[in-house]
Chains A and B, each alone.
Chain A
């Protein structure tokens, strides 16, 4: 039942949203997490075989973004550069803060590209000073996903009816230390109705992102040829929600919910869980090794 609300005083905007059950007006907010790790793109990490060129992939990503912005006048994009030290390399195109930033005409779109490129140039300059080959190939993915979710939440304060999406384009490996907080972030995304799409560069699957895509109802694909990034992006990750509902995206999930025990770090299928601190053990013991609860 819809009701005219002209007489109702404007409701103060809620500061956070519980579920993604708000009716969408067709617009969306897209947060792109793009890996800029030099170790990955130079091929030194052994993940990419050098065929993918950073420039070409970035160029195609920008085309995708412009395509996305053209779909709806209220669409907004945020790009976060995913780097081994995230501290100085976040690039939010400030379309969210002002709320009413107009990106519909072509002039602003080229501005957008110019801004992304100039920001990347700044990042490259900074990196030159502290780049060394010992840079790890792991990425603080949890941090960046948490930040992306905060961006989405901020966007919803201004535009409560947009449907939000996070697109991860990266090629680095999962790091096991981030598992719990990462899962926590994924479930928060699910509860806020945020879809996480993952685009893997290279040939190795990311178990973490597979779960992220599966739990939040997003897509997961691999960009094996950087030259065709745009093709993959457009066909596997269509921008509009209404199109996505009609297309069957090529999902490839092999979700193995592997649990590892605390005591021997063995993968197991049946384990014993401490009722106090939820630590997993592979055999019965008298005392919890994590929280020292006494079972006797």
Chain B
């Protein structure tokens, strides 16, 4: 059974069809890339899957259960976490707090336990912090030590991207949705992050869906590539297949002159 199964997903904004019937399935342990030209509906796809927008039609099954129509927080709780294309951290919280707050849905202490500082609450609090440190150390020395207590907005751009991945990891998802993780990074950082995405699967055991424009990254990480254009999936398969697909090339480069259809 596929971990994520999407059938005929449709979403329109006003008159614009962002998603016009997308089907996609993601198996456990896969890394799937979603590519497509600008405005193809990739980010809308993420937004609908994670519950920020309601789908108009179609169904989204996660581990066999329909999650369409759930609140975003419930979907996160079910095990899907994401990053944002235009890095959206909590800018004034510290690095550590950003990762701690993301464990909200996996922890339980309520108002009374917090006020009474019960042993359970203090233990849980210690665990949250411990786990946050652990997750941050996944990124090497970049986000640890004195960085723990720095506000997120003081980080460099690349570190913000890393922190966003860390924050998504902290929700303990099964499926990670990464929205253009290497956008705006230099070649060295890109190479490093490419390795990191593989490590997310290989070492951490996450299933990963990546939206990416950088074809080098797509080639290096993907088990499978799905191509969206105008809200429909126009191709799917291994990178080599897809990258030579005429329809895909046309979507990216426009219709060659004279090639009427």
Asked whether A and B interact, the reply is no
